[in-house]
Structure 1
Amino acid sequence: MDIGSPSLVEGLTGAISVVEAAQTLPEAQRRARELRADLEGRGVHADVLKFCRAELLADDYFHAVQEAVKSVADKMRSRTGLTDDGASLVDRALGGEPPLLAINARTTGSQRSEQSGFANLVRGAFGMFRNPTRIGEELTKLLAIPGAEDRARRLMNADRSQPDGGLFELLVALAYYRDGWETAFAPERPGVAKTHDLNVRKGRSRWAVECKRMDRSSYEARERVRGEELARPVHRLALAAGRSIYMQIAFDAELDAIPDDYLALHASAYLGAAGANYWSDEHGIGTIREIDWTLAREVLAEDDVYYGSSRMVELLIGRYDHDFAHSMSGKWLPSRTRPFWASAVYQASVVGWRNQSATAIRKKAKHFRATVAKATAQLPTDQPGVVHVGVETWAGSLADGVRHLLNKLEMMDFDPGMSRLRWVYGEYFAPEVSTRSDESWAIEETSASYRVGSHRTREPLPYHMLLTPEAKTNHGVHWDPANQYPLKRPRT
């Protein structure tokens, strides 16, 4: 009986080693007791100890940590009232001026930096232990890559406040290794010069690989906050009227230009029977309707549902459109065993919105020319180079489609300078809150290749993915599943 798989752990000396899987349940129970005793000796928070259970450690240590990280998101939501997940939750709860959750008084520059660093740490934990489980699944392959262990050790120590970049490098290295390339991390030269990240070789072909993560758009975060501000009065009006309504809006202007009472006036008119359930004006178009409780009550009679989740929204309005942001409020009964889950909902209001104005789309569709320019400076001049740019986005299909087109155009006339940059890969990650009953979060992933200038050099890594097994992927792009053309490339 195979109880689990090998796990990657860090010893007291900082060295990383593989721990053999527990082969029996008593062995898993012993490990749980030992881990709990060690954590108690370190004075860790009591909430962490809840995850030192044999049933979690029976698989491997990774699953215990993964469940603990999920609990952090639950606690952030419970303390803020937010319904977001992943990076969006971190940005809204720990970012902003002021943040909804502050770890200090934030009266000095040092304290504000500490707050920012803590937000990066939590965001990185979400990224490492909730998303790229492929690192854990392919641990043996990862440890076979020269230099990977040093990068992982640095990630766990010196780079803990900014872990996303290191994780991205490990995922890219695994992609080349899986495709049959001899892969090794390039030796670093601290204080001398910045170097590229990877050297890969297959037969007579050699490439220098550089990996960069692109900063998220602050415009997207500000737009989400403004949308919540506009939706809040609608929730108050629905609750006061004892009505359950769904309002959907497509804005035609930037949200900062929308009057504070814009949605409230339409909701008030509808609830007072003085207004229609549809409108169209200079600010956008919208509809309002009563919520059909049939599906929600049918499911809640048999199962608890996480309050405010995308699954809850889907049950209330019939479908969950990931192109829309959603705000939800209501009266509900918490589950006896899971306080963040609802066993009944008595009243609810949902506001869904998206911004289709050309100005807003352009501001969210930030291209990565400047990021590629920085990466190019680290490439050598004696071999062809490729840059992988990681882009995490929740801007919606319109903005993501425009971003893809802009990146393609920017790379066509990009000047690589003295380097021999030939290809750029855009690794697009679109976090979404899953509507499945057994998931709380999911990621849509698209890998797009962009030829730099005009040449005949074949791309080194066609049809690769970083998080998703390649056998389970489709042609096309996540922002337009019906469009197969942009990324369908001939096999080489």
Structure 2
Amino acid sequence: MSASWTTCNAAPELLLENHNQPSCESIANEASQKKHKKAQQKNASKKKEALQNYKSFIVRLKDRDKDPVILNTKTAFEYFLSFLKPGEWDIRRERVMKYFERLAQGIEKPTEASPLSAEESRIAFHEDWMSWYMYLAECTVHRPFTDQESQSARIRPFFNKLGASIESLKAINGIEGKIHDMFYDNNNNTDSALFELVVAVCYIENGWQAEFIPETHNKTPDIKVTKGSTTLYVECKRLQKVTDYSESERQAWLRRWKLLSEEMLRYRIPSFVEVTFKKEVDATPQGLPAKAFKDLATCGAIAEGMCIENDDIKLCARHINKKRIDNHLKRWSVRHASSQMNALIDEQWTPEAAYTFLMSCKRSRSTEPHSGLFGWFITDVDSVYAAKWECIADESIDKKAKDVTKHLAKAVKQAPNDARTVVHIGYETLNGPIVEVARDQKIVETLNSFDFGDKDIACVFCHSFQSRTFPDGEYDFAETTRHRAYSLTPDDILPERLLLGTEQGTKVKDDTHWNQDLREILGLS
């Protein structure tokens, strides 16, 4: 496994003064035109190696007992486990397993009588986030063949950091109560709790003493920190992983995919489509992608890999290189729902792309215990129909680029009237660099203009996280830390303010990870 972190420590107002940011529309148009060709050239050698063999994967298996990420994850997992009663983890794990067993049955033998709802078909156990994350950590440590790579990639850096800093974690006053709440609190806010833990550890490692403030009916900050004669209060806010708009957009796509996939099945030749929505997905005719595919199929254009477009969408269709998939599967099994399977289907695979597919295939199962759906390995593909989709409409980009205004307002409300408070806001960058450029502009404007009233807000830190998985089983993780100083400078508070950068090989740059991704897509790096 490998991971990299980036950080940006420039004051937000300097971004607006010194950088000419292109508009969302111009970025989207340019990226849409260039990204596939440039990304294909950029990743050609890496993908070729990844799809030919599993040599690097085998090496990692042999060296697992020396891998610091696995060792640190194990340390954190076992520490959390110590807060459960004997046998309780077995019960919690079983609940996770039952959910995915039902999901596996729905995929293997779908029925019209009892179809899985959107909530019931998610690759995540929403009912109990802490148990789900513990299950992923356990897979990382003990069951490498049942790990769910995309989910683990976003959680593992937190467990890795907490395991690597276990003594700092234990040094936080009130840590026992905080972890107890992570397992037993009805709020199910594990993402927020993990964020608070790594923030508190960051203060400990910057020379502060830290203690969690017990929750009461009256809202108070999360953490109190002291260094010498200085006392600060710390309030942490974590945005939800996926915005409501992003989820509604995904559901709108799935309704269109249902009609499109039915048309692709009638075509009977394994095919791949790329759909670019120029308007908001739900504002386009539901049957339009299906009609566009049918029109291309009718004139024999799919075999030539051609495109069709109007003011609503652009759809490109081509045959899938089935021989390429077959040749690979003769030598290697491929994990179900993995980056490697996506890269076998799409020869122009990119890590930020959203894929949907139908597949008729043969599978083998891992013999590891508690594997369920994640123990599936594809051994042969009979037929496959797949799509990659995105929406570049300005309205969509704007709505997905969720600002931090509401969370900042809540944090300020909880700040005491008679003491300095530092605010930390965390969020994930899951919608690609175009959205994040737009979001960053909003955050800069908010931090420059927000009215704190009589509250003494010393500094606001914004931490954004992004994980990516690759066909060869590798992953990377990026963190960008932004700040806006008010009554104290960031160096007065946290000279080292990267929350999760503990691994060897971490690269720190004075740049945002979304700008780096954007340059990569445009072939500028």
Residue 234 (structure 1) aligns with: 260
| Compared CA separation, residues 160 and 383, structure 1 to 2 (3 A) | closer
Counterpart residue number, 2:79: 8
Q: CA RMSD in A?
A: 3.5
2:338 maps to 1:304: no
**d(CA) in 1 for partners of 2:98 and 2:287?**
35
The corresponding residue for 2:24 is: none
Using the TM superposition, give the Cα deviation of residue 362 of structure 1 relative to its aligned residue in structure 2, in angstroms: 0.7
Q: Which amino acid aligns with 1:176?
A: Y
Give the aligned residue type for 1:292: N
Give the secondary structure class of the aligned counterpart of 1:145. Answer: coil
- Quick check: 1:210 aligned with 2:235? yes
Q: C-alpha separation between the residues in 2 aligned to 1:8 and 1:453?
A: 37
| CA deviation vs aligned residue, 1:156-210 (integer Å, no higher than 9, x gap) | 22356333322221111112222x222312433623x322122334456543211
| Cα distance in 2 for residues equivalent to 1:467 and 1:314 | 29
**8 Å CA contact retained: 2:459, 2:487:** no
* 1:80 CA displacement: 4.6
Corresponding residue number in structure 1 for 2:275: 249
**Alpha-carbon distance between aligned partners in 1 of 2:90 and 2:352, rounded to the nearest angstrom:** 44
Match of 1:197 in 2: 222
Distance, in Å, in 2 between the alignment partners of 1:81 and 1:430 is: 29
Kept in 2: contact 1:426–1:449 (CA 8 A): yes
**One of 450, 456, 470 as aligned partner of 1:414:** 450
Question: Of 481, 484, 489, which aligns to 2:516?
Answer: 481
| AA aligned opposite 2:165 | E
Q: Which has the higher contact order (CA 8 A, sep 6+)?
A: 2
Determine whether 1:350 maps to 2:386: yes
How far apart, CA to CA, are the structure 1 residues paired with 2:219 and 2:128? 27
Could you tell me how far apart the structure 2 residues matched to 1:150 and 1:43 are?
22
Match of 1:405 among 408, 431, 441: 441
Amino acid at match of 1:310: S
Deviations 1:375-415 (A, max 9, x none): 11222344432211121342222112211110111110111
SS in 2 for 1:269: helix
**Matches of 2:84 and 2:423 in 1, distance apart?**
30
5+ residue gaps, structure 2: 1-64, 109-114, 138-151, 368-374, 520-525
2:299 maps to 1:273:
yes
Give the deviation of 1:75 after TM superposition. Answer: 3.5
Matched, 1:364 2:400: yes
Match of 1:329 in 2: 358
Per the alignment, residue 435 of structure 1 pairs with: 470
Say which is worse superposed, 327-336 or 125-134, in terms of deviation.
125-134
Deviation at 1:310, TM superposition (A): 2.5
Which residue of 122, 127, 141 corresponds with 2:168? 141
Give the counterpart letter for 1:200 in structure 2: V
AA aligned opposite 2:166: L
Change (3 A) 1:483 1:220: closer
Instruction: From the superposition, tell whether residues 208 and 43 of structure 1 become closer, same or farther in structure 2 (CA, over 3 Å).
Output: closer
Q: Residues 269-325 of structure 1: CA distance to partner in whole angstroms, max 9, x if unpaired?
A: 222335571123101323111112354233312221123332211111124324331
| Aligned-partner residue type, residue 226 of structure 1 | A
8 Å contact from structure 1 (residues 423, 452) kept in 2: yes
Q: Would you tell me which structure has more helix in proportion to its own residues?
A: 2
Q: C-alpha displacement at 1:438, in angstroms?
A: 4.1
Residues 72-99 of structure 1 show CA distances to partners (whole Å, capped at 9, x for unaligned) of 78536424549xxxxxxxxx977x5xx4
2:129 aligned to which of 123, 126, 131? 123
CA distance in 1, matches of 2:79, 2:487: 44
The 1-side partners of 2:267 and 2:81 are apart by: 57
> Contact 2:479/2:513 (CA < 8 Å) preserved in 1?
yes
Contact 1:127-1:164 within 8 A present in 2 as well: no
- Report the TM-score, using the length of structure 2 for normalisation: 0.68
Cα distance in structure 1, aligned partners of 2:127 and 2:354: 25
Note the alpha carbon deviations across 1:113-162, whole angstroms, 9 max, x for none. Answer: xxxxx964433434454412222343222111222222112222235633
Distance 2:488 2:183 in 1: 40
1:426 is matched with which residue: 462, 476, 484? 462
Q: Distance in 1 between matches of 2:261 and 2:411?
A: 47
| Amino acid aligned to 2:514 | W
Q: How far apart are 1:259 and its partner, in Å?
A: 1.1
Match of 1:450 among 483, 487, 494: 483
Aligned partners of 1:483, 1:327: CA distance in 2, in Å? 23
Q: Give 1:349 shift.
A: 1.5
1:464 to 490, 494, 497: 497
Distance in 1, matches of 2:235 and 2:287, equals 48
| Equivalent pair of 1:414/1:452 in contact (CA under 8 Å) | no
Shift of the alpha carbon at 1:225? 1.5
Against the structure 1 CA distance between its residues 367 and 456, is the aligned structure 2 distance closer, same or farther, given a 3 Å change threshold?
same
Equivalent position of 1:152 in the other structure: 179
Alignment of 1:374-413 (within 5 A): 374-413=410-449
Structure 1 residues 80 and 202, CA gap change in structure 2 (3 angstroms): farther
Cα offsets for 1:28-64 (capped at 9, x unmatched): xxxxxxx7xx46xx9948x84xxxxxxxxxxxxxxxx
> Comparing 151-160 with 167-176, which one deviates more in the overlay?
151-160
**Same amino acid, percent of matched pairs:** 21
SS, match of residue 228 in structure 1: helix
Residue 204 of structure 2: which of 164, 177, 201 is its match?
177
Contact 1:305 1:312 in 2 (8 A): yes
Which piece of structure 1 moves more, 466-475 or 280-289?
466-475
Aligned length: 406
Question: Hey, what does 1:23 align to over in structure 2?
Answer: none
